[in-house]
Structure 1
Amino acid sequence: MPRTRIGDIEMYYEVHGRGEPIVLIHGLSMDSSTWLNQVSVLSQKFQVIVFDNRGVGQTDAPNEDYSTEMMADDTIALLQFLKVDNAHVLGFSMGGMIAQIVALKCPELVKSLILNTTAAQLPAKAKYIVQNWLRMLNENVSLETRIREGFLWVYTDDFFKHDETVTASVNLASNHPHPLSTHGFAGQVAALIKHDTRSRISQISVPTLVLIGGDDIFIPVEFSEELAGKIPKAELVELERGGHNCWMEFPELFNQAVMQFLDSVTSSEP
């Protein structure tokens, strides 16, 4: 399993397929293993790079507050290590915040940008929610209860209509081979709380897809509308179904929207 030294951490990463590079950046507490439904599709046409952010999975988790700026530097350094000089960048939630900063710091590195269920600044209610998740972890609330509570904010009613689906998803998360550490989660929560690119996102100059599930209650659609309104070359696509984890719950809809955007970007090249 490939790991490399990136600044002060050892980072886990994977590379799948061949073609133009696309890097997928995950959200709070998640690792690269949950991109399975995207890697299987995107790797048929692209070189797909996935990795574990600092604080989760098989990447080191320094016991300190993180920032999206710091995590963007991690992403940039990984691409430099892999000798990738131009890539499509897809970020989900916190990963979308990291992706914004990658595009701002190194526009020459980013061929196109896909911002999925994210924001220039986390909504006030969402800040309260993630801080409450951290409080539950510190108070030793059971893992199963924390997982079930988290699901309430990221999945649609359709997900909860099938008890066997919910139970299978809880069991999968509960038995993750690389469990989340308290300090790693706390570090990522700090990064989310501090993120604010509202005054800078108009400087993003690359073609951008802002993608949102219409039923997202964690980061509501108006925050995606703000991104699409301020980024000059952005288009907003609202999926007909899907909440915050639309890419997991409705992967076919999500992957289709992503592939259509990537096809439009590559077909418009001279």
Structure 2
Amino acid sequence: MAVLELDDVRLAYEDRGDGDPVVLVCGCGQPAISWDLGIAQGLLEAGFRVVTFDNRGVAPSSSPPAPYTIDQMVGDTLGLLDHLGIERTRLVGYSMGGWIAETICARHPERVEAAAFVGSCNESTSWEKAIGTVELAIARSGVELPRLFYATETLRYLPNSELQDDASMDAWLGMIGDLEVWPNPGREGQYAACLEWTLDQERTQAWPSLPQPVLVLAFEHDVDSPPARAREAAARIPNARFVEIAEASHLAPMTHARPVAAELVKFFRS
């Protein structure tokens, strides 16, 4: 893994493949290595050059003092593109990464060939506003969190049917139940960026002016970006295509990585 030193942050990244570039932008708290559960490989096998990186606040990238903003992470992403000599790229943004991708599409359209907004493109829901408020308050409180906090924060995004399946839960907890809680200042920093975006009532005004081909990729059981809301958003983007993956939740880039990769490849090849 390579490292790029920017003004106030150190970004860890990987650059693989030799084809047309695709830059994958992580969601809130997402480690870039999770793209290797199938999405990065699917794009590499399709002949694309794939760039992944950890956003500020997630190791092994550095965690500057909180709070962060989406605009700061847009700057980080553009700084990485400049460093790699990528003048124009295909973008994939998942969850918070979709908000970063949206902003780049709107403010720097010359840098984006096409973009996929994955589990991210919708008018903010009441749930998003509530959980974002709570997450940031907990991060700022300094309270010591139990070891299982990270696992439960993550697994609540699974479909209810899977949460009620003890065998499935035992398997998940066996994998991530002992992981350390995401530390500050990265946790507080990214949660602050997410809540600011969620509460911004003007951000959706950019949708009708996005010039790029856009894939709005939604998941049947996604509580953060419900498919109905994502479909409504896609209808407001001139060159958008809406796709919903059945039986998947907000964690689809991890649990349904190959179907997600297949949709990305189909879209970027078109």
Q: Name the CA shift for 1:167/1:182 in 2 (closer, same or farther; >3 Å).
A: farther
Once the 2 structures are TM-superposed, how far is the Cα of residue 162 of structure 1 from its aligned partner?
5.1
Q: Does 1:214 align with 2:220?
A: yes
The one of 132, 136, 143 equivalent to 1:139 is: 143
Aligned ranges 1:89-100 → 2 under 5 Å = 89-100=91-102
Asked whether 1:28 is paired with 2:18, we answer: no
CA displacement, residues 177-223 of structure 1 (integer Å, 9 cap, x when unaligned): x8622221111111111114211122210000000001111221233
CA 1:149–1:2 in 2, change beyond 3 Å: closer, same or farther?
closer
Equivalents in 1 of 2:97, 2:169: separation in Å? 25
Contact 1:156–1:215 at 8 Å: present in 2 too? yes
Please give the alpha-carbon distance, in whole angstroms, between the structure 1 residues aligned to 2:126 and 2:68.
19
Q: Is the 1:73–1:102 Cα contact (8 Å) retained in structure 2?
A: no
Instruction: Return 247-256 or 10-19, whichever deviates more.
Output: 247-256
Partner of 1:267: none
Aligned length: 262
Q: Distance in 2 between matches of 1:2 and 1:174?
A: 29
Q: Of the candidates 190, 194, 212, which is equivalent to residue 196 of structure 2?
A: 194
Structural RMSD (CA): 2.0
User: Once the 2 structures are TM-superposed, how far is the Cα of residue 252 of structure 1 from its aligned partner?
Assistant: 2.5
The alpha-carbon distance between structure 1 residues 140 and 179, as it changes in their structure 2 partners (threshold 3 A), is closer
Partner of 1:268: none
With over 3 angstroms needed to count, the CA separation of the structure-2 counterparts of 1:6 and 1:158, relative to structure 1, is: farther
Distance in 1 between the 2:173 and 2:52 partners?
A: 23
Give percent identity, aligned residues only. 26
Q: Contact 1:217–1:243 at 8 Å: present in 2 too?
A: yes
**Structure 1 pair 199–57 and aligned structure 2 pair: CA distance change class (3 A):** same
Q: Are 2:153 and 1:166 equivalent residues in the alignment?
A: no
TM-score by length of 1: 0.89
Partner letter of residue 143 of structure 1? Answer: R
Structure 2 counterpart of 1:159, one-letter code: E
Change (3 A) 1:122 1:187: farther
The answer for the alignment partner of 2:112 in structure 1 is 110
User: Which residue in 1 is equivalent to 2:19?
Assistant: 19
Q: 1:260 aligns with which of 240, 244, 266?
A: 266
Separation in 2, partners of 1:107, 1:94:
19
Provide the TM-score with structure 2 as the length reference.
0.89
Letter of the 1:261 partner, please give it: F
Structure 1 gap segments, 5+ residues each? 265-270
- Structure 2 distance, partners of 1:164, 1:16, is 36
Asked whether the equivalents of residues 56 and 73 of structure 2 are also in contact (C-alpha less than 8 Å), the reply is yes
Q: Counterparts of 1:78 and 1:241 in 2: how far apart (Å)?
A: 35
- Deviation sequence 1:158-192 (CA, Å, 0-9, x none): 5336545434433443555x862222111111111
Give the counterpart letter for 2:93 in structure 1: G
Gaps of 5+ in 2: none
How far is the alpha carbon of 1:139 from its aligned partner? 2.6
Question: Shift in Å at residue 135 of structure 1?
Answer: 4.3
Counterpart for residue 247 of structure 1? 253
Match of 1:55 in 2: 57
SS at match of 1:90: strand
Superposition deviation, residue 151 in structure 1: 1.1
Give the structure 2 partner of residue 125 of structure 1: 127
Q: Distance in 1 between matches of 2:124 and 2:187?
A: 16
- Note closer, same or farther for the CA distance 1:5–1:175 as it changes in structure 2 (3 Å cut): farther
Determine helix, strand or coil for the equivalent of 1:225. Answer: helix
1:106 is displaced (CA, Å) by 1.4
Moved more, 130-139 or 5-14: 130-139
